[in-house]
Chains A and B, each alone.
Chain A
C-alpha cells in the first residue's frame, strides 16, 4: 500500500473495523485551546457568501428554491458549488446551495403540498410516476393501518410518525468510505452476501436483496464523487481527502433520504489521525487544518430538506440533526479528545454559533480538564453544545465507539441502527382513563371497557387501575403502528446508501418514546396527595379539575413526586416490551419531545395537575414550567433519578441559565459549569442541553416565556426566575445584566 502504510496496522487492516483503526492510530490531546486558528480569508469569504444565501432564504420565507422536476438519488444532480474557487470540501445535495430536492419515495402527496405551500408546483410527471407506477412508503403504510392505529393517530395519542417522510435516525459509519474506498467495501459486502445462504427464510431473502442495494449505492457514490473529480474507489490519502470522502458518504445519505434526524456520527477523532499525519509531514499547516474543518462544517450547516408546514409545527426551526459526537473514553480509560475535537468546537467561533451540526460532548469526569473547560467556555459563549453521559452509555451499550442518533440516542457506530418510533402522549393516555376510554376533547371511544370513576374527588387506586389498562392498550397499538411503518419503510424507502456503511447484520432497536412525563407525574401526585375532583361537561368528559390542598411536584428533588416519575417510565417501558417488534428489534424508550411538546399540549385537554387545556407540556423529561421552584440543582436531581436502564433511547433535559447565574466572572462561570456537568452525570443522569443565554435570548424569553421555564437570574445573593418577573423588571434585568456590552 502507499501512504496508508504509515498507519499502525491492526485488526482494521484485515476487516472493516473503524473502532480499531481510530483506537490504534489516534493521538490524544491534553493541552489547551491556544493552538487553534481563526478563520482563514478563504473561509471568511466563503462563509460570507453562505450568510448571504441564508439571508435570502429567510427573506424568501424559509425556502430559497426547490427542484420540483428531479427525482432525487445519489447521482441525480450534476455537481453543485457555493464558490468553486474557495471551497475545500465539495458537494451539495442538489446543483445549487439551499436548493431543496423533492423526495417522493416517502409519499408524493406530502411533497406536492410542501411545494404548493412554497408557491411551487410539483412536476406532473413525478406525480404520475408515484401515483401510477411506483408505490410510496406512505401508501404502503395506509394500506396496512388498522382502524385503531388511525384513531390513535387522529386523536394525537401518537404524533410525529414517520409515515409520510423518511424515518431517519440511521447513522452510516461514513468514515468507512475514507478508510477503505468503495472497492474494498464492495468486496466486503459481496462476501457477506455470499455467506448468506442456506434456507431462504424471509429475513435471508430480504437481507440478500438489501446487500445488493447497498452494493449498487456504493457504485453510485463512486460515480457521484467522480463527477466532482475524486476517485473514492481507493482509500483517502490526505486529511483533505479523508474529510471529503467522509462527506461524500454522508452526502449520498442526505441526497437519497429526508429523515427528520440524520446524524453524522463520531468523525472528529478519525479526521484527526489524517490531520496529524499531514501536519507531521509538513503537508498541512494549522490554519489549513482548521480551514478543512470549517469548510466541512459549513456544508453541514447547509443541509436542507423540504417539509410541510404541519411538520414544521412539530419540529420547528428547520432542524436537520446533523449530530456529531465528540469525546468520551475508550474502554481502557484513555480519553478520546484530539486536537480536532477542539477544531470542531472552534467552528462556533470562526463561523459563529449555530444549531447544526448538533455538537454533542460525550462527557466524562475523566476528560482532560483543559477540554472540559474549553467546552464549558464554548457553551457559555454560544449555547450551542449538548452533553451526554459517556460512562452510562458505554456501559449499557457495551461499546466505546458510538454515535448519537438525532438528539440523545446512542448507537454503536456502523453496527447498530434504530427504527424511529416517534412518541406517545402519556398525558392523554391518562385522560382516557378518567373518561371511560374516550378522547376528552371529542368523546370518541378509543379504549374499550374502561369503567367510569366514582363521583367526587378521585381515588388513586381507581385511577391507577384504569390508567394501567389505557396504557396497555395504547402501548400495544403504538408498537404495532411502528411495526407497520418500518415494514413499509424497508420495502419502499430503504436506506441503501446509509446501510452500505454499516455491517450487513446490524443490531436493531425500536426507539419508542413518551411525552408528557412531568404532566402525568404531577397529575398522579395531585390525586395522591391533594383532593382532585374532575369538572365534567354535558358529555361527561373532563374539562378541568378542582384541586384542594398542596401536592409535591416533579423537579424539586422530592422523592414523593420523583418516584412517581420513575415508576411511570418503568411501567410504560415494560408495556412496550411485551409486544412483537418488527425484525426482532429491541424496544428502547426515550423521554424526549424535541419541540413537539407544544403540539402535544395543544391536542391534550386539561390535566389533573392543574395544567389547562392546550397548554404546552414541558420538553422531554423536564419538570413542568415554573414548578421546579427549589433551584437548579434540585431540578437536575429530579431528572437524574429517572433510570437510564428503563429509557435506553435517552432522557432529555434542557437547562437554561444566564451567564451571571453561573458565576460572577468568566473563570468562575467556566469552573462552575464544569462542576455542574460533573455533578449531574455523577448522579447517573443521561443528557443535558445547556443554554447560557445572552441578551437576545432574554428578549426572546419575554416574547416566548414557555421556552425558558428555568431561566434563572442572579441578583447577587438571591435568585429569581426570569419569566416570573414583570415586564418592567425583565427589562431592568436586561439592562443590568448586559452592562458590560452597552
Chain B
C-alpha cells in the first residue's frame, strides 16, 4: 500500500449504530480477519478496484458539513474493513480531527497489536472492540486468527482508563455456547472502561456479495438467531454488565 491517503471502502453520513449519537462512519479498506459471517467481504482485501482515497482535508470538510447533527454525542467513527490495518495513517489524521473538536471512535476487531495501534488506543475517544469469541480455538475457526491480540488490546485500552464498548456477533451454533458466553462475561466484568456491551444478532444480508465476488459463503444455511436465542445471550451478559444493548 502506498503511503498517500487513507484507503476507504465507503462512507456512511448517517451512522447510528457504530458509537453514540449521529456519526460519520468511514469504512476503511482491508482486514486481516476472514470472519465466516463477514457481511462486507468486499472490504477485506487491502486493494480493490472500487476503493478510494480519503484525504484528511476532505474528511475534515465532511465532518464540518455534518457538525450540527452531532449534538453532544456524535462524531466520527473509523470502521471497516479493519481500521487498525492503516493505523499509521489514522494516527496521522487523528490529532487534527480531535483538535477541530470532533469526537472519534474506533470500531475494531482488535486483531493488530503494534506500538502504533497502542498509540491509537491511547488517543481515540471511544474504542468499540469486537471480541468475536472468548475461546481461542473457536476464534480461530471463526476469523482465521487467534484472539490473543484481541484480548491484549482489550487489556491495553482498560489500562488507559478511557471508555470502551464491547461487541459480540451472535451466530447460532458458532458463538452462542452458554459456557463461552459466561467466560466472555467473566473476562470483562471487572473492566472499568466498559460502558456498554452490544449484541449484534447475525444476519445473512451480505450473502449476495459472496456470490458477486464468486466466493463460497461458509455459513450457508445458518439462520439468524431467534428472539429466544438472543434473549438467552442477553440474560447471560446482563449477569456481568449493567448496560447490554441488542442491535
- A contact set with B: CB distance below 8 Å: 557, 630-634, 637, 660-665, 668-669, 671-672, 674-676, 678-680, 682-683, 712, 714-720, 726, 729, 732-733, 736, 739-740, 742
Given contacts A661-B16, A664-B198, A716-B247, contact A729 B22 (CB under 8 A): no
Q: A678-B68, A740-B227 are in contact. List 18 more A-B contacts (CB 8 A).
A: A633-B14, A633-B24, A637-B65, A662-B16, A663-B16, A664-B198, A664-B247, A671-B71, A676-B14, A676-B69, A680-B68, A712-B14, A717-B18, A718-B39, A726-B208, A732-B203, A732-B205, A742-B227
CA distance in complex: A665, B67 (Å): 23
Rounded to whole Å, the gap between the CB of A545 and the closest CB of chain B is 27
Given contacts A637-B65, A671-B21, A736-B203, contact A717 B39 (CB under 8 A): yes
Rounded to whole Å, the gap between the CB of B247 and the closest CB of chain A is 4
Whether, in the assembled complex, B73 has its beta carbon less than 8 Å from a beta carbon of chain A, the answer is: yes
CA distance in complex: A196, B12 (Å): 62
Rounded to whole Å, the gap between the CB of A741 and the closest CB of chain B is 10
Q: Which residues, 42 to 84 on B, are CB-close (under 8 Å) to A?
A: 65-71, 73-74, 79
List of B residues within 8 angstroms of A633 by Cβ: 13-14, 22, 24, 65-66, 69
Whether, in the assembled complex, B224 has its beta carbon less than 8 Å from a beta carbon of chain A, the answer is: yes
Chain B: interface residue total (CB-CB under 8 A): 40
CA distance in complex: A674, B68 (Å): 11
Which chain B residue has the least Cβ–Cβ distance from A663? B16
28 contacts between A and B (CB under 8 A): A630-B11, A631-B12, A633-B24, A633-B66, A634-B13, A660-B247, A662-B16, A671-B21, A675-B21, A675-B71, A678-B69, A678-B71, A679-B69, A680-B69, A683-B68, A714-B16, A715-B203, A716-B17, A717-B107, A717-B200, A718-B27, A726-B208, A729-B208, A732-B204, A736-B203, A739-B201, A739-B226, A742-B227
B17 x A717 contact (CB < 8 A): yes
Rounded to whole Å, the gap between the CB of A660 and the closest CB of chain B is 8
B205 x A664 contact (CB < 8 A): no
List of B residues within 8 angstroms of A664 by Cβ: 16-17, 198, 245-247
The main secondary structure of chain A at its interface with chain B is helix
Whether, in the assembled complex, B40 has its beta carbon less than 8 Å from a beta carbon of chain A, the answer is: yes
A739 x B16 contact (CB < 8 A): no
Of the candidates A630, A671, A682, A715, the one whose C-beta lies within 8 Å of that of B205 is: A715
CA distance in complex: A682, B230 (Å): 39
Interface string of B199-225 (1 = CB under 8 A from A): 011011110100000000000000010
CA distance in complex: A630, B25 (Å): 12
Of the candidates B16, B27, B67, the one whose C-beta lies within 8 Å of that of A672 is: B16
CA distance in complex: A712, B15 (Å): 11
List of A residues within 8 angstroms of B226 by Cβ: 739
List of A residues within 8 angstroms of B198 by Cβ: 664
List of B residues within 8 angstroms of A672 by Cβ: 16, 21-22
CA distance in complex: A30, B149 (Å): 50
A717 x B79 contact (CB < 8 A): yes
Rounded to whole Å, the gap between the CB of B193 and the closest CB of chain A is 20
List of B residues within 8 angstroms of A680 by Cβ: 68-69
In this complex, the member of A632, A663, A672, A714 whose beta carbon has the largest number of chain B beta carbons within 10 angstroms is A672
Which chain A residue has the least Cβ–Cβ distance from B169? A716
In this complex, the member of B11, B22, B73 whose beta carbon has the largest number of chain A beta carbons within 10 angstroms is B22
List of A residues within 8 angstroms of B22 by Cβ: 633, 672, 675-676, 679
Q: Which residues, 219 to 240 on B, are CB-close (under 8 Å) to A?
A: 224, 226-227, 230
Of the candidates A631, A661, A665, A679, the one whose C-beta lies within 8 Å of that of B246 is: A665
CA distance in complex: A674, B69 (Å): 9
List of B residues within 8 angstroms of A739 by Cβ: 201, 224, 226-227, 230
Which chain B residue has the least Cβ–Cβ distance from A669? B16
Given contacts A676-B22, A716-B247, A717-B40, contact A661 B208 (CB under 8 A): no
B200 x A716 contact (CB < 8 A): yes
Of the candidates B13, B67, B205, B227, the one whose C-beta lies within 8 Å of that of A632 is: B13
CA distance in complex: A668, B23 (Å): 13
Rounded to whole Å, the gap between the CB of B59 and the closest CB of chain A is 14
Rounded to whole Å, the gap between the CB of B79 and the closest CB of chain A is 6
CA distance in complex: A630, B66 (Å): 12
